Amino acid sequence: MTKSEDRWKAPGDRGNRRLPNVVRRSPFPPSESRALGSPLQPAVVYATPDVDALEDQYEGRAVGYTYAREGHPNADLLAAKIDALEAAPAPGLITSSGMSAITAAVLGVLKAGDHVIAGDQLYGKSLRLLNQDLPRLGLSTTLVGVADAANVAEALRPETRMVLVEVVSNPTLRIADIDGIAAVCREHGVLLLIDNTFTTPAVVSGFELGADLVVNSVTKLLAGHSDVTLGYVAARDPALREPLEDAVATWGLTPSPWDCWMAERGLHTFELRFERAQDNAQRIADHLAGLVGVDEVFYPGRDDHPDRALARALLGKNPGNMVSFTLPGGRAQANALMRALGGIAFAPTLGDVSTTISHPASSSHRGLTEAQREALGITEAFFRLSVGIEDPALLLDELGAGVAAAHRSLAEGG
């Protein structure tokens, strides 16, 4: 029989092939080289050789993974990088969003009956968590101005367990008296939770400021490209890591491996992006302050910032990339501004490589009453700029056109 005939199958034999086993996973081929980029591991579950090996993992005698909701390699790789940036004394955890990081810190550490003191100028969803959700779980909250540590001291109760502050508040850019607040917390045995999202570890380490717990919205400046949703939480005391882990796994706050992989890639350029965006922000803040039709500009790097002394002491030469400002008028002027901004996106986010503008009254703080927003200084003509890395001349032109359009709208009775 020829070689060609050997490959031929009789009609009765066709359709009866026994396929080789390709169902089971195979290890990667051995190699002396390694991938320069971090591998992406989207696996949901991990196999162990026997029951004893699995027990060793759960008891901490061996390192390994079991189920992705309890942890996975891409999350740990990203967490280790942010641990280094934050000078974290114990390994941190990646969560599914910035809010899930705060939720893990609160639910993992506190219990019904505990009392929380928090800054009265926080991200809108943080305020909602404190004012609406925690009371349903039996926790009480007091909001105070955190530019003066005396306000925190006065709000203390016997059941106070935690103080939550943003180093720089969202979106009003007020500066917390972190040194004073940390001293109050140490004196009274209260945990200090710092949200370092606006400042980022490029400016300050939350732990070096005295925090017991630190959170970041990795979604923002750390990842930097508006294509992932992640958070980070870490504790000073290693004993607190287990309750944080339990909260993340039990409440389903686990991050996606894909998002972790993307965020780790974003971190490679974090320092460069931050420096360029910060330089642009200083130029924009100074430019806005000189424009006809702008009422107020809030930027920690300007001498007219209401907390300038605190900003100098805490932020030094790194006032950040966020600028807020107000215009005369209301919603009509807000619409006129947005429509004339050219390529600056009206988008409720921050930390992207490109500049974005948000309108907190209709987005991040829309859940507050009008009176609550006005008490914070968030009017219909209050705007928050997240400054990116574009050519600053382009940004100045676009913002100038937007402010001019809003000014014309006001003059025309719009």
DSSP-H helix ranges across 3-97 = 3-6, 51-58, 73-86
Q: Tell me, what DSSP letter sits at residue 45?
A: B
Q: Tell me, what DSSP letter sits at residue 360?
A: G
Q: Mean per-residue pLDDT for 125-136? A: 94
Residue 77 pLDDT: 98
Summarised one tens digit per residue, pLDDT across range 312-331 is 999 999 999 999 999 999 99
Q: Where are the domains of the chain?
A: 51-267, 270-411
Choose, from 65, 83, 114, 123, the residue flagged as catalytic: 123
Residue 10 pLDDT: 64
Name the fold adopted by 270-411: Aspartate Aminotransferase, domain 1 (3.90.1150)
CA dist 100 and 110 (Å) reads 15
Q: Mean per-residue pLDDT for 385-409? A: 96
Residue 18 pLDDT: 83
Choose, from 69, 241, 265, 408, the residue flagged as catalytic: 69
58 is catalytic: no
Choose, from 65, 83, 114, 220, the residue flagged as catalytic: 220
- Could you tell me the two tokens for 317? 């030469």
Indicate whether 302 pLDDT > 90.
yes
Indicate whether 145 pLDDT > 70.
yes
Straight-line distance from the first to the last Cα atom of the chain, in angstroms, rounded to the nearest whole number: 93
Summarised one tens digit per residue, pLDDT across range 241-271 is 999 999 999 999 999 999 999 999 999 999 9
302 is catalytic: no
Burial class (CB in 10 A: 0-12, 13-18, 19+), 306: middle
Residue 162 pLDDT: 99
Q: Mean per-residue pLDDT for 150-172? A: 97
Residue 74 pLDDT: 98
Residue 34 pLDDT: 87
356, β-bridge pairs: 345, 386
Choose, from 83, 177, 195, 307, the residue flagged as catalytic: 195
220 is catalytic: yes
Q: How many CB atoms lie within 10 A of CB 181?
A: 29
Residue 288 pLDDT: 98
Indicate whether 47 pLDDT > 90.
yes
Summarised one tens digit per residue, pLDDT across range 173-217 is 999 999 999 999 999 999 999 999 999 999 999 999 999 999 999
Q: Looking at domain 51-267, which of 3.40.50.150, 3.40.640.10, 3.40.190.10, 1.10.10.10 is its CATH number?
A: 3.40.640.10
- Could you tell me the two tokens for 153? 């001291």
Of 196, 168, 166, 163, the closest CA to residue 182 belongs to 163
Question: HEC states along 313-351?
Answer: HHHCCCCCCEEEEECCCCHHHHHHHHHCCCCCEECCCCC
Band of pLDDT at residue 98, cut at 50, 70 and 90: very high
Of 96, 126, 92, the closest CA to residue 201 belongs to 92
Q: How far is CA 53 from the centre of its chain?
A: 36
CA dist 131 and 134 (Å) reads 7
Write down the mean pLDDT value for the chain: 94
Band of pLDDT at residue 7, cut at 50, 70 and 90: low
- Asked if 294 contacts 268 with a C-beta cutoff of 8 angstroms, the reply is no
Q: Mean per-residue pLDDT for 400-404? A: 97
Buried b vs exposed e over 41-54: b needs ≥16 C-beta within 10 Å? Answer: beeeebeeeeeeeb
Which helix (H) or strand (E) segment holds residue 115: the answer is strand 115-119
CA dist 337 and 405 (Å) reads 6
195 is catalytic: yes
Summarised one tens digit per residue, pLDDT across range 339-392 is 999 899 999 899 999 999 999 988 877 877 788 888 888 899 999 999 999 999
